[in-house]
Structure 1
């Protein structure tokens, strides 16, 4: 028994005839007929009933077809797996994120699994992350909120409250927490208007009738941290992004119901089946469990 004989039998059985099987395998009909004949002669078994010019499986042929279904099904799965592995050995993945902190564990695991993929990360806020993905200037986005998720594939990452933070030398640094009303008395360092952190903070302040004083508006989280550390005012960030590695800064929880930031991993819905994008989303799901 040879592989080519089983393959010929399988395609004749599936196609319902020798000529169609020959077309599918890009061979001549006599070649296909010869392979099936050799298989039948070698094991002294009839696999097809050829009466009345029709090709009909015998009982033995039906049993063999059940086996070749598994054989060639496994072969197809193996081919798909190998092709997918080859496609992920090289290439690029562009990520635009309001904060990369929320996917650091995903990035580490993805790089270990697919070291040939070149990853680049750019910074953005909620608005620019969406615009960058729609413009096909990045494959994957990380952001706090998504007002309209219809064109996107969305994977929730984590929920983290917004906190205030200040320089250790700031007069408020010794406080255990701050209320929005108390913030009226202090100069604040806020992100650009497209920042979801700023939007949530200003929305809550408006609901409470509190007027916040933006002393400095800075683009990007790192710029805010640098200005706050220099004594420029009080800043705001999600607790997950604050970290405790900067001795010059202290965290100040906000009183009242928490202002929760729901971080999400997104991509354009139409690109969700891209092997690289899908692999990154699968890795993100795996690291959450």
Structure 2
């Protein structure tokens, strides 16, 4: 087994094809194909299934990719450590967030300190964010629906209660608070089944013997708020995630607050990556102030 063979395999897996991998590594496609073929032949394994000019990782290929992720990330860290400049001037940092509102101040502070680092922000639910972190498709996650785990480094961000929201002209818009029983009698706009907001509300409703009925079920926070703003029903959101540009009325939910806790997370094995460490340090500094 040679380094060039592992590098070829890793790049093909990450690029999704031999041609793209060859372009990324500035080699010819036959050269890339030859390195992967030799690796498979040497160990009598099949790393890619090849059908109709499409490739996909086999089970063995998936296991090897998990290892090469760590291998080449460690290589990047070693290169950074040995670099002449210890200041982070260039690079990329990928964030995956269930809601970017919780990290806006950290993003701003990080940009001030490291203007040369390009930030990419994507959104998703807990399942997709964790999968992206494990596959190295994201560097840092922003979410709250994950119990402490040895595989991840956690930095708490904030906690905010779930509130009900309604259009300004909705009959309930003037109410300061509503019970779950009252909400159950109103048309509700609810997030998709995988939503943490929905799960917390349903847990509280079950505890109090209330059955919530949804007039509209919609995927995504922004789509749900748009529908609420149209007057179609009452929706729910974390108080920290509601901007003031929709003119929605905020209505407290009676009883003990249903708190949405958010945290920054990254794979523990990647916490010394220069860009990741810098972002986490900025976040720690903000939380200490």
Q: TM-score, normalised by structure 2?
A: 0.69
Q: Structure 2 CA distance, aligned partners of 1:81 and 1:173?
A: 59
Q: 1:256 to 1:241 in 2, by over 3 A?
A: same
Q: Structure 2 CA distance, aligned partners of 1:80 and 1:193?
A: 48
Q: Which residue of 2 aligns with 1:69?
A: none
Write the mapping of 1:100-119 to structure 2, written as runs, cut at 5 A. Answer: 100-119=100-119
Structure 1's consecutive aligned runs of 4 or more residues displaced over 4 angstroms after TM superposition are 79-82
Is 2:268 the partner of 1:269?
yes
Deviations 1:27-77 (A, max 9, x none): xxxxxxxxxxxxxxxxxxxxxxxxxxxxxxxxxxxxxxxxxxxxxxxxxxx
8 A Cα contact 1:165 1:252, kept in partner:
yes
8 A Cα contact 1:184 1:210, kept in partner:
yes
Give, in angstroms, the shift of residue 149 of structure 1. Answer: 2.3
Q: Structure 2 CA distance, aligned partners of 1:240 and 1:132?
A: 25
Determine which structure has more spread, i.e. the larger CA radius of gyration.
Answer: 1
Give, in angstroms, the shift of residue 147 of structure 1. Answer: 3.1
Q: TM-score, normalised by structure 1?
A: 0.69
Write the mapping of 1:176-191 to structure 2, written as runs, cut at 5 A. Answer: 176-191=176-191
Alignment: residue pair count: 208
Q: Which residue of 1 aligns with 2:197?
A: 197
One of 82, 85, 96 as aligned partner of 1:83 = 85
8 A Cα contact 1:145 1:264, kept in partner:
no
Q: Which residue of 2 aligns with 1:126?
A: 126
Deviations 1:124-154 (A, max 9, x none): 1222221221221110111122135231110
Q: Structure 1 CA distance, aligned partners of 2:222 and 2:139?
A: 24
Q: Which residue of 2 aligns with 1:136?
A: 136
Q: Which residue of 1 aligns with 2:277?
A: 278
What is the CA RMSD across the aligned residues, in angstroms?
Answer: 1.6
Is 2:212 the partner of 1:215?
no
Q: Structure 2 CA distance, aligned partners of 1:195 and 1:84?
A: 41
8 A Cα contact 2:170 2:231, kept in partner:
yes
Q: Structure 1 CA distance, aligned partners of 2:161 and 2:149?
A: 22
